[in-house]
A and B are shown apart, each in its own frame.
Chain A
């Protein structure tokens, strides 16, 4: 028998992820680890986590990590990359972190074209704090702080971070993917690979926005949350390469 698939060695062998059943944070962290292993850059990798569920994996990954203050991961990455230009530095941020409290840091870092990578997890809600409305929450989608659902007149519209950053001149590569089926999982892995390679080759700012689920705070079981991604999230957040100046 030949082993053809197992969990990446960049996740500590004896650890189980702290995420809820069906949560795709786990999927993405696994993919990041696979890419790091395949590119053979474990000894260069530094993950900067935001605050929120996006930091839940810090104790079970096997490479360097630092926690940034809420929203400031791109600023931390900016300083870190200057001080250690040979390291592979990437932020891992949720939508509250990246698109709400960290908006200034996120947009400014992208505008400087900092040579690091952002992995941006968009599940349309605040996970860790219990299902509050995020900038990415869909219209009509209920949240604990929008009990009647998001209303455009009151809360504005879902923010499309990839498209917003695409308006800037500096970013090298922006792609939106999902992890809601095996094909999209593989596309996400490919996108992360490309984003990391860009950084290793000094090409500048890359971001992969990954549309994921939050079964717990969406109030759906994992299977239903797959349908919700397909039927609700993806029409609002269409997948694909949004910007690629590298080719």
Chain B
């Protein structure tokens, strides 16, 4: 288990990809599932590497990402 845990509030995500671009550890990726607005929302794919820096949360325009410290 990594240092951090990411929870994506799926319906807020608009698939812009900012969190993916700026995550220093490559924790996030666009997923295959679609949310209520029709966006393929972001999902953690490599949670073990998460360092709980919360950059993803801060860069996300829509506040779709909750970050927890383990």
Contact = CB atoms under 8 A, between A and B. Distances in A.
Interface of A: 1-8, 11, 16-17, 19-27, 30, 179, 181-182, 185-186, 215, 222-223, 226
Contact of A1 (B18, B57, B64, B68): B68
Contacts of B22: 181-182
Contacts, number: 82
A119 to B, nearest CB: 15
B63 A30 contact: yes
Interface in B54-69: 54-55, 57-69
B61 A22 contact: yes
Interface string B10-24: 011011111001100
A4 B39 contact: no
B58 A8 contact: no
A30 B57 CA distance: 11
B27 to A, nearest CB: 14
Given A4-B52, A16-B11, A181-B59, 14 more contacts: A3-B68, A4-B69, A5-B57, A5-B66, A6-B63, A7-B64, A17-B62, A22-B14, A22-B17, A22-B18, A22-B61, A27-B59, A30-B61, A186-B58
A223 B62 contact: no
A121 to B, nearest CB: 13
Nearest to B64: A7
Given A2-B69, A181-B59, A7 B12 contact: yes
Q: How large is the interface on B (under 10, 10 to 19, 20 to 34, 35 or more residues)?
A: 20 to 34
Nearest to A14: B11
Given A1-B5, A16-B62, A222 B69 contact: no
Contacts of B70: 1
Contacts of A222: 16-18
A27 B66 CA distance: 15
A124 B33 CA distance: 34
Given A1-B68, A4-B68, A185 B59 contact: yes
A97 to B, nearest CB: 20
B67 A24 contact: no
A102 to B, nearest CB: 25
A5 B69 CA distance: 9
Contact of A26 (B57, B61, B67): B61
Given A16-B37, A21-B16, A22-B14, A1 B69 contact: yes
B15 A21 contact: yes
Contact of B61 (A2, A19, A186, A223): A19
Given A182-B55, A222-B16, A21 B39 contact: yes
A11 B60 CA distance: 14
Contacts of A24: 61
B57 A6 contact: yes
